[in-house]
Amino acid sequence: MPLLNLPHYTSSIIEETDHDIHIQIALIDSKKPLCPQCNSKDIVAHGKRHRHFMDIPIRGKRVGLNIDVPRYRCKACKKLFPADLPEMSDEYKMTERLAEYVKKQSVLRPYAHV
């Protein structure tokens, strides 16, 4: 994805306002993972969940990434779990590079300006 430089994602819809850029992204390779609970390969697709992540600014505008994350159910242990999202930080609901940028900038500038 040349605009975002996130190799595991493609973009499909880009909306731009005066202050924001909203981009719909999708995983390029969403192969079925192993169950995180029991490591079973016997899983089935179980819908999608809409998620929103923030990314580093582009042209001085905030960037929001919207993605429909595939969910799976393990047939062995019945656990429901989402696909892994490379380069995204679930803890902060932002890309890992934005989290790193905020950490670096918070040392240099007041937190309110980051």
pLDDT over 90 at 112, yes or no:
no
Q: d(Cα 102, Cα 56) in Å, to the nearest integer?
A: 9
pLDDT digits (tens, 9 = 90+) for 89-103: 988 999 999 999 888
What is the structure's pLDDT at 1?
41
Take residue 74 and report the two structure tokens written for it: 């393990």
What is the structure's pLDDT at 94?
97
pLDDT over 90 at 70, yes or no:
yes
Mean pLDDT of 59-86: 95
Radius of gyration of the chain (CA): 17
- Which percentage of the chain shows pLDDT scores above 70? 94
Cβ atoms of 61 and 54 within 8 Å: the answer is: no
